Amino acid sequence: MKESNDIYNLLNQVNFNIEDYEKEELSDMEKQKLKNSFRRRNKRITKLKWASTIVAALVLVSVAAVNYTNFGGNVYAAAQSKISEISYSIGKALGIERNIETYTNIVGQFVEDKGIEVKLTDVVIDKDELIFCIVAHMNQPIDMFRFDYDIFIDGKKIKNFGVSGSAGPIDDSGTLFFATYAVDIKDIDTNKNVDIRIVLKDCNLYLAGKTEQEIRGKWEFEFTANGDDLRKSTNVVPIDYSFNIDNTIYTLEELRYNPINQKIIGKIENISEEFYVIELDGEDSLGNKVVFGLSSMDDKNIIFKYEKVYGNLSDEITSITLTPYAAKQSKESGRESNDYKQVGEKFTIFLNK
């Protein structure tokens, strides 16, 4: 895999109540680093993981027609928008090397408000997850940005969900960016067409040496998408493995994998007040490095996602061998330690071949 793909992993997914969302300003040090990982349990603040490497290549695409609602003058015609020919697809953002067009729903809608243009490029529906990608053209050079947003599925607003994502510059102008979001939506239907409305709002801009600037606006997209093809290409392998951290028992129950997502899903018993960042490290049957990073957790459930920074999982592998490691998160700073320690024995997952 190319080095630039390192920035596209969806990491540190969190679970939170969006109705209780509270604003948090970044420190000067965090703004300067331009790489913001986010992890929150309960009501901690969410931040996009920011890409530190400038991506110079722009991908030109022909936008397929989809079902969508025209929101009057706010929806830009393709010829008018500065970002009409620019796409940063989900596949590119996730660092997926194989062709996944069969499983994506191309949207290609443009909305402008308060001088900020946003294009929703494509969408993927997976089991219990909605993934979407945007390209944004800002009205001034910035370091980074964050949108608040609401999501509606078949007319119903999703109130409690976890989200992870990554974002970064597309060129060196400081005004053109991509962002991807992976949203936990339990029981989203993967068997039929789903009516989806995504409302981005209140864009927060972060400028070097300046405080956060909030642009109050609305960028609304409405379309129909389907996850049936990806569902048919999904494999599930049962796992029966447990490990213990400070009397909290983590039980891994299944590996669920398809051309877009590879997840290890488990349960938690007797969760403690301490928070640990957990990784499952190892290798596949061909000797390639494999890491599943902590993606989301609550008091009962835990999900790990494969980190594509080490390359896509090969179609030729027959097994994956992993060992759990954990690092304690500081209560004072909320930052995770890099002092990972082994917390369980090695185990092997044999794939469906």
pLDDT at 349 over 70: yes
Which one-letter DSSP state was computed for residue 90? Answer: H
The shares of helix, strand and coil residues in the chain, as percent rounded to the nearest 5, are 10, 50, 40
Q: How far apart are CA 343 and CA 305, in angstroms?
A: 18
End-to-end CA separation in angstroms for the chain: 24
More confident residue, 185 or 50: 185
Give the rounded distance of the alpha carbon of 343 from its chain centre.
Answer: 27
Q: How far apart are CA 223 and CA 225, in angstroms?
A: 7
The answer to whether 170 and 24 are in contact (CB under 8 A) is no
Q: Which of 323, 242, 333, 325 is nearest to 276 (CA)?
A: 325
Q: What is the mean pLDDT of residues 178-184?
A: 93
Q: Is 139 exposed, middle or buried (0-12, 13-18, 19+ CB in 10 A)?
A: middle
In sequence order, the 6+-apart residues with CB closer than 8 A to the CB of 333 are none
Q: What is the mean pLDDT of residues 322-349?
A: 85
Residue-range domains of the chain with CATH: 3-229 (2.60.40.1630), 234-350 (2.60.40.1640)
| 3-state DSSP assignment of residue 132 | strand
pTM of the entire structure?
0.75
Q: Two tokens at 319?
A: 């097994």
Looking at mean pLDDT, say which of 198-212, 256-270, 335-349 comes out highest. Answer: 256-270
pLDDT of the residue at 57: 27
- Lowest-pLDDT range of 14-18, 60-64, 204-208: 60-64
pLDDT at 54 over 80: no
pLDDT of the residue at 81: 61
Q: How confident is residue 351, by pLDDT bands cut at 50, 70 and 90?
A: very high
With a pLDDT cut of 70, the percent of the chain lying above it is: 74
Mean model confidence pLDDT for the chain: 79
Quick: pLDDT tens for 114-134: 999 999 999 999 999 999 999
More confident residue, 54 or 249: 249
More confident residue, 233 or 59: 233
Q: How far apart are CA 223 and CA 199, in angstroms?
A: 12
